[in-house]
Chain A
Amino acid sequence: MNDTNSETTTHLAVESRERIGMGGEPGPGASRHLASCEACRREVAEVGSLQARFTALEVLVPSTGFANRVMASVQLPAPRWSRALDGLRAHPPRVAAAAATAVAAVIGTVVWLTTYPQVTPGVMAKLVYERGTGLVWQAVVAVGRVVYDSGLATLLEAFRADLNAWSAVGALATLTLVGMISMWMLLKLMEVSPSAIRIGARRIG
């Protein structure tokens, strides 16, 4: 864009002309340009004139009680403490159980500390550290057991969901086969020949 006064001058950017027209301070470069550019001066003056008219517009205010009407219609989330209380009220048995547990724990701790003063927290920490490996192993076994049980439960549930004569026969056959294979693999791992196992006095095989 070329200025009307000179063939090489670039006009101020639209945003700059507007900012100055709306009351912003022009920088040194913009001031110099405005001094020499009639088109930019006119644009800045027009924006300024329009802005002055907008500023003089009447401030429109809603009627009295607007905020009250809004607040009456708004549903704010309940405050945290209120939600916590509501939660407690909603589950009285759980709250009672938790309270009883907390009271029992406090009383138990006091009794323990007065009865066995030698068992300090340090002693307890050492005990936990020494038994830690065993506890971790037990926890792993317990988790494995739960996973195994839940898998078996799912399998049984699947059979039950589609139970008829044929599925029952199929299920029994599958279980028998899986059981036999498992037993065989177990004995193989233990390096025991099935023929060597005796039940009571009778020899198998």
Chain B
Amino acid sequence: MDYAEKTDKELVRLSRRGDERAARELVHRFERPVFSIVYRMVRDRELAEDLSQDVFVRTFNNLDRYDRSYRFSSWLFKIAYNLTVDHLRKRELPTISVHGAPDALTPERQEATSLNLESDEEAPDNRLVAKELAGELEEAIAELREDYRTAILLRHVEGRSYEEISEIMGIPLGTVKTYIFRARRELRAALSGSYDDSED
């Protein structure tokens, strides 16, 4: 049986029956797009790998909940988006202040929850991020709000339709259009110098 020629839905059906090779083919098919979007969201390679792994594990462990009227990839991206956003929101809470979380009442707790401001020399992962996510566009993407960033990446990198982005992010179609319009405007503003260069 040639799994590479099968459709996503066929592979899902086989995976539901416990076919490990079908599941492996699905991972092979989607590991790059999922990792790519998660990495650009969290900008930490190790964390992106952990989250992406969690995305696939949750997906396979909940295959019986997959509604076959939707594209499998949309469902997978939806799980990836929810998991990443949840993580980012949880991470934001305890790191609001460099002096520790707002609810940290003891010095020990303050130390445990305070931001660790390392230099690039001390953090090899940061150097890797700098190399992989370098360039004006990557930096401009990083400056976008997380929902704008997700929408624009799904549209321009993954080539998803507005309807699919709406399903993935769980927001109305009009909101998707607004997000993408604003994201483009912000990117255009951030890249205006290089736009002028390229047009000259």
The majority secondary structure among interface residues of chain B is helix
| Interface size, chain B (Cβ < 8 Å) | 42
Residues of chain B lying within 8 A (CB to CB) of residue A49: 195, 198-199
Q: Which of A34-61 contact B (CB under 8 A)?
A: 46-47, 49-51, 53-54, 57-61
Residues of chain A lying within 8 A (CB to CB) of residue B132: 58, 60
The majority secondary structure among interface residues of chain A is helix
B60 contacts partner chain A, Cβ-Cβ < 8 Å: yes
B49 touches A50 (CB 8 A): no
- Look across to chain B and name the residue whose beta carbon is closest to the beta carbon of A77: B18
* B residues apposed to A, CB below 8 Å: 15-20, 23-24, 27-28, 31-32, 35-36, 39-40, 45, 48-49, 52-53, 56-57, 60-61, 132, 135, 137-138, 156-157, 159, 162, 177, 181, 184, 187-188, 191, 195, 198-199
Identify which of A78-86, A136-144, A146-154, A157-165 touches chain B.
A78-86
* A residues apposed to B, CB below 8 Å: 14-15, 22, 46-47, 49-51, 53-54, 57-63, 66-67, 69-71, 73-80, 82-83
Q: What are 23 A-to-B residue pairs whose CB atoms are below 8 Å?
A: A15-B162, A22-B156, A47-B184, A50-B156, A53-B191, A54-B156, A58-B132, A60-B40, A60-B132, A62-B32, A63-B49, A66-B27, A66-B35, A67-B24, A67-B31, A70-B56, A70-B57, A71-B20, A74-B56, A76-B19, A76-B60, A77-B17, A78-B18
A74 touches B137 (CB 8 A): no
Residues of chain B lying within 8 A (CB to CB) of residue A51: 156
Docked Cα-Cα span, A190 to B198, in Å, equals 108
Residues of chain A lying within 8 A (CB to CB) of residue B181: 14
- Look across to chain B and name the residue whose beta carbon is closest to the beta carbon of A80: B17
